[in-house]
Amino acid sequence: MKVRGFGRLLKAANGFLYHFSRYCRHSNWMDSASDVERRNYQAVKIYHSLEKSLSFSNRNPSSGWANAQALMRLVSAASNAKRFGFHDKAGLHVLQQFISESESGRPEIASTLKDQIEKLPARPSSSDGIAGGVKQLTDAEMRRGTLDSPEEFFLSRFTLREFKPQVVSDDIVQRAVSLTMKTPSVCNRQAWHIYHTSDPSVRDAVLTLQSGNRGFGDKIPNIFIVTADLKAFMQGEEHYQHWIDGGMLAMSLVYSLHSLGVASCCLNWSQTPARDKRLREIVNIRDSHSIIMMIGAGWPSDNNTVCVSPRRPVSEVFSNLVKN
Ligand SMILES: Cc1cc2nc3c(=O)[nH]c(=O)nc-3n(C[C@H](O)[C@H](O)[C@H](O)COP(=O)(O)O)c2cc1C
């Protein structure tokens, strides 16, 4: 028993080393803005701090300017390269709002930044419709999301492992992914990528490497692979952040699908480094994308036998937080 335990520890160590080496190769610990994706993740990290500052009711207009200047450097890099990513564009928008709403705090810096924006060699086309910054939202508007019966929504979701044979169409898939994009993420970095297939040969190829689909994998019409991009993470303390943000995204996808009537089954990717590498050899998952999990999906049959999967009582998982 002891020997098996040590074997598990060794396996875990192998996994930690593999993921540490992936972190070294793909995360942005060098704080580099050289590629458009790394620069975009840096931009959102900075412009979100300006958005936050703009949202405070009691704000100091003389703070945040160092971040505004740092954002200007990234926007200039995008402009010089004539290549604006999504967050470069949103960043420029936020920068302009920040300057106009905080000008009184540091008029000299504001004027320099305005001048720099004016002289940018290239700008994103205004038709892109990418917003950013802050906006007003009433209590009534926020309450539009309140469900008449949250229990009906949450308690009617069950993992399905067998589905109707027809695939979920692309428009439903796209809608589910689009809803999923409202998932919160650290600094709104949205360091995600969702891969999808409804091709049985691709499904079979990836599911042979997944350990929890025996007996039903060939009955899954749609397969998603949820990943998180290591390029978005800079600070050493963020070494687990992509797992967290990726997990949040996966949960949202499950609920988005459920809201559209599509059933799903999460499929773990707690895998050995060898299998993780093998999967990357057979499908187009990018190197910097860490695989969070697979999700099988499809339409429920008219009648389904599901696992009850009883839930622990709230009293076991909830306590008041108190000072020691
Ligand atoms: C990260 C994760 C990985 C999972 N992996 C598998 C899997 O490999 N195979 C499987 O049949 N179910 C898998 N499940 C489904 C769980 O068994 C299921 O969610 C749990 O029993 C609760 O049941 P419910 O989803 O019906 O409420 C996974 C769930 C999660 C969240």
Which residues share a beta bridge with 166?
Answer: none
Q: Are 140 and 99 in contact (CB under 8 A)?
A: no
Rounded Cα distance between 307 and 160, Å, is 9
For residue 48, how far is its CA from the centre of ligand 1 (angstroms)? 34
Decide whether any atom of ligand 1 lies within 6 Å of the 266 Cβ. yes
For residue 267, how far is its CA from the centre of ligand 1 (angstroms)? 6
For ligand 1, pick from 209, 267, 292 the residue to mutate: most ligand atoms within 8 Å of CB.
267
The predicted pLDDT at position 126 comes to: 67
Decide whether any atom of ligand 1 lies within 6 Å of the 72 Cβ. no
For residue 76, how far is its CA from the centre of ligand 1 (angstroms)? 46
Q: Are 189 and 44 in contact (CB under 8 A)?
A: yes
Name the residue at shortest CA distance from atom 21 of ligand 1.
309
Rounded Cα distance between 5 and 169, Å, is 46
Rounded Cα distance between 324 and 321, Å, is 9
Decide whether any atom of ligand 1 lies within 6 Å of the 54 Cβ. no
The predicted pLDDT at position 178 comes to: 98
The predicted pLDDT at position 125 comes to: 78
Q: Are 169 and 260 in contact (CB under 8 A)?
A: no
The predicted pLDDT at position 127 comes to: 62
Ligand 1 atom nearest the C-alpha of 211 is: 8
Q: Are 95 and 53 in contact (CB under 8 A)?
A: no
Name the residue at shortest CA distance from atom 9 of ligand 1.
212
Kindly report, residue by residue over 306-323, the tens digit of the pLDDT: 999 999 999 999 999 999
Q: Mean pLDDT of residues grouped by 10 in the chain (324 residues)?
A: 88 97 94 89 96 94 96 96 93 96 96 97 80 93 96 98 98 98 97 98 98 97 98 93 98 98 98 98 98 98 97 98 98
Torsion angles phi and psi, residue 196, rounded to 5: -145, 145
Helices (H) and strands (E) in the chain, counts: 12, 4
The predicted pLDDT at position 131 comes to: 84
Name the residue at shortest CA distance from atom 18 of ligand 1.
159
The predicted pLDDT at position 3 comes to: 86
Name the residue at shortest CA distance from atom 30 of ligand 1.
266
The topology under which CATH files domain 147-298 is NADH Oxidase (3.40.109)
Name the residue at shortest CA distance from atom 25 of ligand 1.
159
Q: Are 298 and 263 in contact (CB under 8 A)?
A: yes
Rounded Cα distance between 181 and 160, Å, is 23
Rounded Cα distance between 2 and 20, Å, is 27
Q: Phi/psi zone of residue 187: left (φ > 0), alpha (ψ -120 to 50 degrees), beta?
A: left
The predicted pLDDT at position 177 comes to: 98
Decide whether any atom of ligand 1 lies within 6 Å of the 271 Cβ. no
